[in-house]
């Protein structure tokens, strides 16, 4: 079964924001080279506080990679500060556009992992909102404190050993661009290449030219072409578990049950005993 229950479009969100008890909206703009706070201060959706991906949706960088899982208590404190309430819907958005940064998908995934059951991504992000004439503001809100309780472990996760097992027994998708997969370039991590047995499936292929996710049927066809099947495990990784979250969101919309290798390549290479593949090698 495929659906789009984890997404909301601009028209739908505008309607929900007009209600007496609208969803909590969070701005999670981010780029590979830094946070999106400056963009947020230039303009954002009314009532939306800024959620810092580096500081609040990840733990400190280290042997767990550049964006490891956050400590549940720290995540809970951040979400409560931003007004997230138990049982209340949340909508997250990033800059939008193509290729996607994966920041909103990372927020969706982390909150779902934390036990929240009604988290959606604004399809097309801030770019789609502005293009449709949605109102923006530079006024930063002060949300009433939330009361959400984080219950970690509600989404499938694999570690390095698990990623290796998925590559052997199922499909491990590498969401980075082809040049990074092949090891021709590596702008962030100290070692170039990919996990042996992984298949390259850039996260940019999950969206159209406007940055909106493809329909579930098209996503399912894409992943089926990469060998993904319901009777085999599937997981995704990237450099640090952000753009791979975009792939996990797309796989979920397509009706699969994917796992995220949160540590991703930046964690894989912390152990020199782990093998590194380069070139076009695919499973």
Active site residues: 238
Can you tell me the distance from the alpha carbon of 242 to that of 35, in angstroms, rounded to the nearest whole number? 13
214-228 as b/e, with b when 16 or more CB fall inside 10 Å?
Answer: bebeebbebbeeeeb
7-8 and 119-122 strand pairing: parallel
Can you tell me the distance from the alpha carbon of 86 to that of 248, in angstroms, rounded to the nearest whole number? 24
Phi and psi torsions of 203, nearest 5°: -60, -25
Please answer whether residues 155 and 108 qualify as being in contact, where contact means their C-beta atoms are separated by less than 8 angstroms. Answer: no
Can you tell me the distance from the alpha carbon of 12 to that of 25, in angstroms, rounded to the nearest whole number? 13
């Amino acid at each position: 079964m495929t659906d789009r229950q984890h997404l909301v479009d601009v028209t739908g969100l505008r309607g929900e924001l007009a209600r007496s008890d609208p969803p909590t909206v969070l701005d999670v703009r981010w780029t590979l080279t830094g946070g999106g706070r400056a963009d947020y201060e230039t303009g954002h959706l009314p009532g939306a506080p800024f959620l810092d991906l580096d500081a609040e949706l990840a733990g400190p960088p280290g042997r767990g990679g550049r964006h490891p899982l956050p400590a549940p208590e720290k995540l809970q404190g951040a979400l409560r500060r931003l007004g997230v309430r138990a049982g209340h819907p949340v909508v997250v958005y990033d800059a939008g556009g193509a290729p996607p940064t994966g920041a909103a998908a990372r927020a969706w995934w982390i909150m779902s992992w934390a036990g929240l059951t009604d988290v959606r991504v604004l399809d097309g992000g801030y770019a789609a909102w502005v293009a449709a004439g949605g109102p923006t503001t530079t006024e930063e809100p002060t949300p009433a404190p939330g009361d959400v309780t984080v219950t970690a472990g509600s989404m499938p996760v694999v570690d390095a050993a698990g990623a290796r097992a998925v590559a052997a027994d199922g499909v491990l998708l590498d969401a980075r661009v082809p040049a990074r997969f092949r090891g021709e370039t590596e702008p962030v991590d100290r070692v170039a290449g990919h996990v042996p047995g992984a298949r390259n499936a850039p996260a940019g292929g999950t969206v159209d030219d406007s940055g909106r996710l493809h329909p579930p049927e098209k996503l399912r066809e894409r992943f089926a072409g990469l060998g993904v099947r319901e009777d085999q495990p599937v997981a995704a990784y990237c450099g640090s578990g952000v753009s791979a979250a975009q792939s996990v969101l797309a796989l979920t919309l397509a009706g699969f049950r994917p796992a995220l290798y949160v540590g991703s390549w930046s964690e894989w290479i912390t152990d020199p005993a782990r093998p590194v593949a380069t070139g076009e090698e695919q499973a």
